[in-house]
Amino acid sequence: MLYFAASLHFTLMGERGYAARQCASEMDGDGVRGGQRRRLPGELSGVGKISALIGGAMRTSGQGGEGHKYALTSDEDDSDFWGFAHEADGLFTPLPDEEGARRVHLEGCLPQGGLLKSVDHVGSRRAIVGNAWLALLDGDGATMGSYFVNEVTVVDVKPSARGTGLVDLTVTLWCENALPGAERAWDLVRTGHLNHTGMWHELAPEERHAWLSVALWSRQYQRQGKPDAPVGQVFALDGRHIVDEDSFYCAIGEAVNGPGGYFGWNLDALDDCLCGGWGATAPFTLRWESSAEARARLVERISVGDREVALFDLLLEIFEERGVSVFL
């Protein structure tokens, strides 16, 4: 049963269908403004390669090292690893417009592959690296989740205070799914401090949506291949802090999959999760505690075919259709 024409429910790899944005560069035919390449900050006279800054050091792709929080890999070729970064300042800033353009400062980078080729061409068409997967790494360098980023373009490079042979890159990119407020939740996952229930209770409405996005993109990492709970499981849903639709998804994700857990973030996604593979397989039982309080708050009217249904009642319909017994 689908309640909207298009679902916002994606797996990480499902985003590979995003089309690359057309280049809007106004460079001349050979990609150089005014016919002369601008010298990179810190570049040695007579040396036109970033190797002058990084001393020829190289790191192979794989798990990150100490302090690395991010890694970039080409979307076109999984073997084209672009390097690690200690920070990605600006990735989770509010969008300057509806289309998701961001200016991101990658601190402490050792560029490789396609990224290394582009840093030598700031100011030209060849500074456009392309589309990539930006992975978020835990304290051991393992991938927690990934964002698809469009049209990564290097706009500045300088030596980094993070270490000898490293550089700080400023890039522009497009990323619709890196929501403002998500960085805090990623830090909790990274440090292992997302370890008790109720941590989302005090979040503002827009922060709850960002919390849910991290729950979605990190779900495989957090579950670590853990199978669904057995059929017939009883889950307790705490309704005391359910004040709107997003808070309902925060609560049920936590009820099924523990702190920071994911079990949908819109109606279609919830329906998908109830089909199995996301932590619970119907039939199961949901004991909705403080359900009267939740019913009084989930009063938004949702259009379903030729009728309108209160959100609380629609949720009950979805559960019943998927074989979930709800005790209020």
Tens of pLDDT, residues 197-213: 999 999 999 899 999 99
Beta pairing partners, 133: 73, 148
Contact in structure between 132 and 72 (CB atoms under 8 Å):
yes
Q: Tens of pLDDT along 259-279?
A: 999 999 999 999 999 999 999
Q: Which two tokens stand for residue 249?
A: 């998804």
Tens of pLDDT, residues 219-238:
999 998 899 999 999 999 99
Q: How far is CA 277 from the centre of its chain?
A: 20
Phi and psi, residue 225, nearest 5° = 75, 10
Neighbours of 57 (CB within 10 A): 11
Which runs of consecutive H residues, i.e. helices, occur in 86-180? 113-118
Long-range contacts of 53-60 (CB under 8 A, 24+ apart): 53/157, 53/159, 53/165, 53/167, 54/110, 54/111, 54/165, 54/166, 54/167, 55/164, 55/165, 57/110, 57/165, 58/110, 58/112, 59/83, 59/84, 59/110, 59/112
Q: Which of 88, 80, 194, 78 is nearest to 136 (CA)?
A: 88
Q: Is the pLDDT of residue 167 over 70?
A: yes
Interaxial angle between packed helices 205-217 and 245-257, expressed in degrees from 0 to 180 and rounded to the nearest 10: 40
CB atoms within 10 A of CB 69: 23
